[in-house]
Structure 1
Amino acid sequence: LINTEIANAKKGRPAHIFAKMNSMEDRMITEKLYEASQAGVQIDLIVRGFCCLRPGIPGVSENIRVRSIIGRFLEHSRVYAFADGQEDPSAFRYYISSADWMYRNLSNRVEAACPIEDPDAKRRIWELLDTVLRDQRKSWIMQPNGRYLRL
């Protein structure tokens, strides 16, 4: 899926990755996201807990934004959206998953990810992602040095 976004960016087509999870530390995914950023893919990560990726580094990750939302409730949703060459969010490819992007989850556990095909479910997932990305009250934005600044 990330490779498809890279190919779309290289062709000048819309290329955007949205991902919401609790933690992000898998080295292979981090390296692939850096490659995607360098190809021009826009990447918005919503990571509640720790994130080993560093956004906003010129020449490496300038197209990646990492946001953390700390609220009253522990969020457990893991949702992913890929533009797949489309501008309209209703045409994006959506997935829900049991796994965070962590090595232990992806290599040592049985986890599941499934595509979302239902248009109403896609719309609801997009509304969730869009709402979180527009949040100005509880959002913290990761800086290139790994520190967070509150919006």
Structure 2
Amino acid sequence: MQSRTAGSAKGGVASSSAMPAPVASTGQMSPARLWFSYTILVVIAVLVILIGYRVVVPSEEKKHAQKVSAALLNCQQRIAGLAEYGGAEAPPYTKNYGKGDEFYFAWGRGSFHFQNGFGAKVPMSASCIGSVSTGQIEQLTLNGKTIQ
């Protein structure tokens, strides 16, 4: 009669030296692997900060463009406010013809209309010149007449 060990009773392998016993892990990483992990975390953190800074803090070009847009809106509102009889159209968007710190917007005759005293629409022209940094309008013309 052959004798079986406890492990082989279920068809398993006898407890001879067939499989090594598992080694208990201490849970510590090697210094090289730990250094590599920290390096990766620092690189990810730096990238997140740089991308966040780029999104949150606008560039000088973006700040300049925002100021030009605000100046255009100011000019459009000032011109529309000059209508004596109401029913004024605000001048449409136009590009900035100014250079550097100057803004210069121009609207050709007929690009917008004001109502006259009889309710008829009259074609208008205008120009608006000023400083981008201060947002101040220095010269405003309506149909060739200087208003400011």
- TM-score in terms of structure 2 length: 0.23
Greater Rg by CA: 2
Q: Greater relative contact order: 1 or 2 (C-alpha under 8 angstroms, separation 6 or more)? A: 1
